[in-house]
Structure 1
Amino acid sequence: MGRKLIIDTDPGVDDAFAIALAALSEDVELLGVTTVFGNVPLSATTRNALRLLSLCGRADVPVAAGAARPLVYPHPHRARYAHGADGLSGRAGELPDPVRALEPVDAVSMLVSLLEAADEPVTLAPIGPLTNIALLLAAHPGIAEKIDRIVLMGGGLVRGNTTAAAEFNIWSDPEAARRVLVEEAVPAVLVPMDLTYRCAVDTGWLAELAGSSPIGAALNALTPDYLEHYKKALGWDGIVLHDAVAVAEAIRPGMLRTEALPVEVECSLGPSRGATVVDSRLPGLRGETGEEPHTVDVAVDTDLDGLRTFVLERISGAKR
């Protein structure tokens, strides 16, 4: 039928675009969606995920709720300053009511069931804090063989957005991120904010989306608070579709150019907590200073206009 995909998410405006991208792509078999705390509390991220799938006409996709807090330390604050109090610029209630009930099992249990039932390896696309994925791999190590790769949005190579050092998803649960990126051998693609910022879209792109279909109009209607935040972050009128960039790579491998690089996650309680430390030294030089470490495929570049067009066409239905 298509590429098998599971999304783990904390909707979130950019998560909304990412979910729609997968849900409306006919070459994707969206097996399920799991939710995690993050941009807003778990109750809101779960409700938003159910409503977004309803918007996309995907009552066939099961949703299970996962972690409500990080593995170790409390979550200091949410991202209401960017996504609004309900995660969708205060407009979550304007989306269609859910037409499918929440699954009666937790996220990790559903992930195990879906992965075990799949007849080929599945791509996981975590686009929020990595708590659910860390728990899955810790409690069910044998399930790794059913995972094709993990394509995740998170981290910053030279700066952060939540703190000077840390990007929001990694900062929200650094211990979970370290488990997934450093301690596990499952192939992973890290899509950092350095690249997602370069993929930002302007108000002209949003206007084209809004005029394309009722779904496009509904997604555009979720952006006012997000747009106001990114006017400050970008210095011009536009938004950054962080999570949709990662899901685009999950759908079409190779859309992003990657480099295999060692990655560490700072788990101290100091000012650099949650930072992703990427070792960009040449392999020969790294070898001189110690054993060659595990690497992650770090996304560093893409055809920016091509990616924007891909996301727009998939969501608008122009080329499905």
Structure 2
Amino acid sequence: MNGFIIINYKKRKIKGVDVLKKVLIIADPGVDDAFAIMYALLHPQIEILGIVCEYGNVSQDIALKNTTYLLDLAGRNDIPLILGAESPLTASPPEFFYNIHGLHGLGDLVPAIEIPEYIHPFKMVYQLIEEHEGDLTIINLSRLTSLALTFIQAETNIEQVKQILVMGGAFFVPGNRTPVAEANIYGDPQAAKIIATYGGQVTFVPLNISNRAVISPEVTKKIVAQNDTPFSKIIQPIMNYYSKQYETLLPSINGAPLHDVTLFSYLMKPDLFHVVDRQVLITTDGHSKGLTYADFRPNPEYIENYPMHQIIIDFNIEAFIDDFIEIMSTTS
């Protein structure tokens, strides 16, 4: 792709981790998506089989450019880029968040790189599912539009996926887009409803978790000080920008939440997280558009013929941060 050289950066072995996780990522980088992709690229037991780029934090073009840039830094241009959705199923204009992520999605950083001439069509998703039947995890970091398409298109084989992790929703906590709605769900509630209605292997990682995954300036400095990875030069500047934007919203936050990294942390260390089984429902319009809700009463009532989902409601924050430091500080 564009004549890039494949460096095959050597990942060091993490003691006690020996199970290879095969993942397909759907992303819209965006700072926190970028850190999630970096984490996955550096983790010795994660194999990225492809990255679907769609709209969300930024436009699809910017998402493609930033993903290309991260793969180029890592010398991993062998990982297929796949063309995802440009806009919501609702046909509403997409809403971007340049005020949080910067005009180019990575803070003040403007990657001097071109999007590859060839991007794999969306049908590549079905090919990867078929090739890795029962052994593939889809990790959705962005809006849920592209993921919803895998449920409704004629060639769907989504039932063969091992599991689906979704960054989305808010339970017992306020939303970050509206008082009740989290941004990924709000951005395309129709897509979220499709996934909640038909997806039987979906785990929701909501704001209950991701809002608390705050990486402080002290942690960032620690990572940078001991960093010898392909990303060593970009970690500090993009995290500094991201943190400053969050400080304008939450002056006492002391850093910024890396929402999307929590999905990979859960994938590799599920014991750090508290998961409950519930049916998840989505409100698609009105004042509560984008609301996710479930029956958390002691004796919940369940809807017949509606799938059960997993919702993560708590986690070990200290262990999450320790894991993030270890992986992001990986040296050759």
- Judge same fold: TM > 0.5, yes or no: yes
**What corresponds to 2:222 in structure 1?**
208
2:126–2:155 contact (8 Å) kept in structure 1: no
Q: Distance in 1 between matches of 2:200 and 2:125?
A: 15
> What is aligned with 1:124?
138
Deviates more, 1:10-19 or 1:142-151: 142-151
Cα separation, partners in 2 of 1:138 and 1:231, compared to 1, 3 Å: same
Which of 307, 314, 320 is the aligned partner of 2:320?
Answer: 307
Q: Does 2:202 align with 1:185?
A: no
Counterpart residue type for residue 149 of structure 2: L
Cα distance between partner residues in 2 of 1:105 and 1:316? 32
Counterpart of 1:111, as a letter, is: V
Q: Does residue 228 in structure 1 map to residue 241 in structure 2?
A: no
Matched, 1:11 2:24: no
C-alpha deviation, 1:155, in angstroms: 1.2
Greater shift in the superposed pair: 192-201 or 33-42: 192-201
Residue 24 (structure 1) shift: 1.1
Please give the secondary structure, in 1, of the residue aligned with 2:123. helix
Shift in alpha-carbon separation, 1:104–1:231, aligned structure 2, 3 A: closer
Amino acid at match of 2:309: V
Q: 1:67 to 1:188 in 2, by over 3 A?
A: same
How many angstroms apart in 2 are the aligned matches of 1:173 and 1:252?
A: 29
Question: What amino acid is aligned across from residue 265 of structure 1 in structure 2?
Answer: I
Q: Which position in structure 2 is the counterpart of 1:48?
A: 66
When the two structures are superposed, what TM-score results if normalisation uses the length of structure 2?
0.87
Are 2:150 and 2:156, in contact at CA under 8 Å, matched by a contact in 1?
no
Task: Return the offset for 1:105.
Answer: 3.0
**Cα-Cα RMSD:** 2.1
Helix, strand or coil at the partner of 2:208? helix
Alignment of 1:172 onto 2:165:
no
What does the per-residue CA deviation read over 1:34-82, in whole Å, with 9 as the maximum and x for residues that have no partner? 1110111110011111111112222221111211000123135211111
User: Residue 43 of structure 2 aligns to which amino acid in structure 1?
Assistant: S
Number of aligned residue pairs? 310
Looking at secondary structure, tell me which structure has more helix per residue: 1
CA distance in structure 2 between the aligned counterparts of 1:43 and 1:123, rounded to whole angstroms: 25
Given residue 83 of structure 1, which amino acid in structure 2 is its aligned partner?
Answer: H
- Structure 1 range deviating more: 300-309 or 226-235: 226-235
2:167 corresponds to 1:149: no
Corresponding position: 1:273 with 2:289: yes
In the other structure, the counterpart of 1:260 is: 277
The CA distance in 1 between the partners of 2:21 and 2:38, in whole Å, is 16
Structure 1 residues 75 and 274: CA distance shift in structure 2, 3 A:
farther
Q: Write the letter of the residue equivalent to 1:231.
A: E
CA distance in structure 1 between the aligned counterparts of 2:184 and 2:130, rounded to whole angstroms: 27
Q: How far did residue 240 of structure 1 move? A: 0.2
Q: Which runs of 5+ in 2 are unaligned?
A: 1-18
- Counterpart in the other structure of 1:250: 267
TM-score (norm 1): 0.90
TM-aligned CA deviation for residue 6 of structure 1: 0.7
Counterpart Cα distance in 1 of 2:262 and 2:60: 23
For 2:133 and 2:24, how far apart are their aligned partners in 1? 14
